[in-house]
Structure 1
Amino acid sequence: MTSRYARLLFTPAVQRHQERNGSRRAYARMEAGGGDTDRLGPAEAAFVASRTSFYLASVGSTGWPYVQHRGGPPGFLRVVDDRTLAFAEYRGNRQYITTGNLDGDDRVSLLLMDYPNAARLKILGRARTVPLGDRGTDAGPTVPDGYRAVVERTMVIDVEAYDWNCPQHIEARYTLAELEEVLEPIRDRMARLEAENAALRKAVPEGAVPGGPGGEG
């Protein structure tokens, strides 16, 4: 956990609960440090670039939090630089809840999951929408080549802080693509074994019994 992440989320109320439950001293040490925004490192950038989905939370004027799922091929959530993320807003059900929430409060939280490897990355940031074709943004292309989707706008997120969260209780789940990657060496081994068995059957005459007449006793 970065000190910036702790400083943003460990409010006085949170600290009181940490004190009551014996974790305050350890977390207090994590808060020590500068107040600058976090910079995404190579591990964070690689993790973001390989995700095919994430969860995005915002808060509306009623005070209610709203969480939605965003998905696409690897690379649809792009690391523009070590402090900026961007992704294309594909046309969906046209409720525009997140877009409307950002008009009043630009703070968002992202949850990125890697179920096969039991890893998750939480990111805090400030989001803004950018019209298509707006040359005032350096977000660049956010739609991977060949992906069929109707893009309405680009969302750019300025990263404030992040935290690699505890992997406990993450159940291993696999997408079809991830299963193919895991099963490929198993299928290759099965194919080799089947080829070896076929060669052995061909080498032994049909009906012959190893160790029978004419063989070693």
Structure 2
Amino acid sequence: MPYHFLEVAITPNVRLAQAEMGTDQIWLGDHHRESDHFTDSELAFISERDSFYIASVSETGWPYVQHRGGPKGFLKIVDKKTLAFADYRGNRQYISTGNFAANDRACLFLVDYPRRARLKIYMHVEKLALDADPALTDLVFDAGYRAEAERIFRLRLEAFDWNCPQHITPRYTEHEVEKAVRPLRERLAELESENAELRTRLEALGGK
């Protein structure tokens, strides 16, 4: 099965919208990827994320988008077609959980803000009890992360595509900022130490 993201995403009404805007010819023809799994590029990108957005659809047809966050790499790679994550307790509304019980289709949106890169993925979601698959439970749990897991979601790949970097405002985590400014802090400390030493020498010379 090829990566048929546009085959899934582009419906007849989407075609009409493209025609109205004069872009329908751009997306005609074969645009899918000749593969049925994530490549190393996608796997590396996924493993570096500490958050993502996941969209579901309710029985009434209304979409719902939820943010998921955790330690870097909390969205685990089971294999090249499968991802999984521990669903930690939040506000206890369980909207996504309920939606997936009726419709297992989901769309994930992963963003690397500093590099202005984003990956969108269509997946099928399966809810599992924490004790349903001990090996999977061991995989998705992050030691030291203080949160209560209620279930596991296993996600099977349907299609993916990369978005262009337009209109992504670069944002940085506290860790990324600290890493960037650490050399400046270290250099500043060196200069302050040198300055203090020079002041001491000048004071000593002035006292003679």
Taking structure 1 as the reference length, the TM-score comes to 0.85
Greater gyration radius? 1
Task: Determine if contact 2:131/2:137 at 8 Å carries over to the other structure.
Answer: no
Aligned with 1:23: secondary structure? Answer: coil
Alignment of structure 1 residues 185-196 onto 2, 5 Å: 185-196=183-194
Displacement after TM superposition at 1:24 (Å): 2.2
Q: Which ranges of structure 1 fall in alignment gaps of 5 or more residues?
A: 209-217
1:14 matched to 2:14: yes
Cα offsets for 1:124-157 (capped at 9, x unmatched): 1000100011138757521211111111110001
Give me the whole-angstrom Cα distance separating, in 2, the residues matched to 1:194 and 1:22. Answer: 62
- Superimposed CA distance per residue, residues 71-102 of structure 1 (whole angstroms, 9 cap, x where no aligned partner): 10112110111111100011122211111111
Using a 3 Å threshold, how does the CA distance of structure 1 residues 9 and 197 change in structure 2: closer, same or farther?
A: same
* 1:25-36 equivalences in 2 (<5 Å): 25-31=25-31
Change in Cα spacing, 1:107 to 1:159, as seen in structure 2 (3 Å) is same
Alpha-carbon shift at residue 46 of structure 1 (Å): 1.5
The ranges of structure 1 where at least 4 consecutive aligned residues each deviate by more than 6 angstroms after the TM superposition are none
Amino acid at match of 2:150: E
The structural deviation recorded for 1:25 is 2.4
Cα distance in 1 for partners of 2:62, 2:156 equals: 22
Q: Equivalents in 2 of 1:172, 1:135: separation in Å?
A: 38
1:214 alignment counterpart: none
Aligned to 1:105: 103
The question of whether the paired residues in 2 share the 8 Å contact of 1:3 and 1:32 is answered with yes
Rounded to whole Å, the distance in 2 between the matches of 1:46 and 1:139 is: 21
Deviation at 1:197, TM superposition (A): 2.3
Aligned in 2, Cα 1:81/1:33: closer, same or farther, shift over 3 Å?
closer
Q: Which residue of 2 aligns with 1:57?
A: 55
User: Structure 1 residues 23, 17: CA separation in 2 closer, same or farther (over 3 Å shift)?
Assistant: same
1:5 counterpart letter in structure 2: F
| Matched positions, count | 205
Matching residue of 1:169: 167
Percent sequence identity is 46
Partners of 2:6 and 2:165 in 1: how far apart? 18
Relative to the length of structure 2, the TM-score reads: 0.89
Once the two structures are superposed, the pairs formed by residues 15-164 of structure 1 within 5 Å of their partners are 15-31=15-31, 38-135=36-133, 138=136, 140-164=138-162
Cα gap change, 1:143 to 1:135, in 2 (>3 Å): closer
Structure 2 counterpart of 1:11, which letter?
Answer: T
Q: What is the alpha-carbon distance in structure 2 between the residues aligned to residue 33 and residue 176 of structure 1?
A: 36
Measure how far apart 1:190 and its partner are. 1.4
| Counterpart-to-counterpart distance in 2, 1:32 and 1:148 | 41
Structure 2 distance, partners of 1:137, 1:65, is: 32
CA distance in 2, matches of 1:43, 1:139: 25
- CA change 1:195–1:143 in 2 (3 A) is same
Unaligned runs of at least 5 residues, structure 2: none
Distance 1:149 1:168, change over 3 A: same
Q: Is the 8 A contact 2:57 2:103 kept in 1?
A: yes
With over 3 angstroms needed to count, the CA separation of the structure-2 counterparts of 1:184 and 1:131, relative to structure 1, is: same
